[in-house]
Structure 1
């Protein structure tokens, strides 16, 4: 198995480590596809034509025992914010999942997935068994996907980054990968 060296700055100290490059790409694609399916499915099953009724976060937002309960109460009691939330949670989850599965706009999808997972983590606040739970692990998976630009491996982003349009606008690479 071939290995590669990587270097990171950690607390002011340079640290080298080896990783198995022969499997690293497969692992990144696997993580991207699994998280993509997770979010695509979560969004899909909240659509009214699938669930049989419109998604409504009001009850959850009003009764969540969370450090951000005040924010949730504002959203639940402000009609346009609640409607926006009821549309964007299913649509956002679906589009994030689709982007990850296709490997398109992966860093953008990972950013918004991370935002949602942060809100879910703080919103669920089920810390009876400690602060590490599925929501925190989901957040970390989005961080990994974004940091390692998982869309550049067997993804649409690898092709998009080769386009002259993107080459002339290097800042777009922060959305891709």
Structure 2
């Protein structure tokens, strides 16, 4: 067991964790989340029919705080085209980034953004606010916060390059 100190809501806390297992769990979360998103995007890209978000956007529940934006997107041709392209390509690239552990925090950020949009687009809160979309969002938060690409990922190699060493702000995209 190892002990970690952190500040939470202005209070110093100390907690124990299983150091020998933490790395494996972090890598497992990264790989599972990456596979999930890669396959979602790949399935849309290789489907017999082209992907269209029009029905999803047009039928966002009235309970959603973004329902107006989704209706606007469904009825704006260039925005709908952009969405129809970016959802499958974005999902596949986010998943691929997580699978190989490259630009992990950037991929986690955009994965979290998509999951937030899905969460508000589904707005299926009849059983409460905790659902699969929120859990997916939390997976991306975990992967990004714990810099999962630094463990058995390409980010650990990229961070050691001279290019990144000379530009330390790039580490915010890696990890």
Q: TM-score range by the shorter chain?
A: over 0.9
Superposed, 1:14-163 pairs within 5 Å as 14-47=12-45, 50-65=46-61, 66-163=64-161
Superposed displacement of residue 67, structure 1? 2.2
For normalisation by structure 2, the TM-score amounts to: 0.97
Distance in 1, Cα, partners of 2:140 & 2:101: 13
Name the SS of the counterpart of 2:44 in structure 1: coil
Name the SS of the counterpart of 2:13 in structure 1: strand
Give runs of ≥4 in structure 1 deviating > 4 Å. none
Distance in 2, Cα, partners of 1:62 & 1:11: 40
Distance in 2, Cα, partners of 1:22 & 1:99: 25
Distance in 2, Cα, partners of 1:32 & 1:159: 17
Where do 5+ consecutive residues of structure 1 fail to align? none
Distance in 1, Cα, partners of 2:85 & 2:128: 32
Distance in 1, Cα, partners of 2:8 & 2:32: 29
Residue 176 of structure 1 corresponds to 174
CA RMSD after TM alignment: 0.7
Aligned pair count reads 173
For normalisation by structure 1, the TM-score amounts to: 0.96
Superposed displacement of residue 4, structure 1? 1.7
Where do 5+ consecutive residues of structure 2 fail to align? none
Distance in 2, Cα, partners of 1:59 & 1:139: 23
Distance in 1, Cα, partners of 2:23 & 2:56: 39
Deviations along 1:47-78, one digit per CA (max 9) or x if unpaired, are 1xx21011011111111112211000111111
Distance in 1, Cα, partners of 2:50 & 2:152: 35
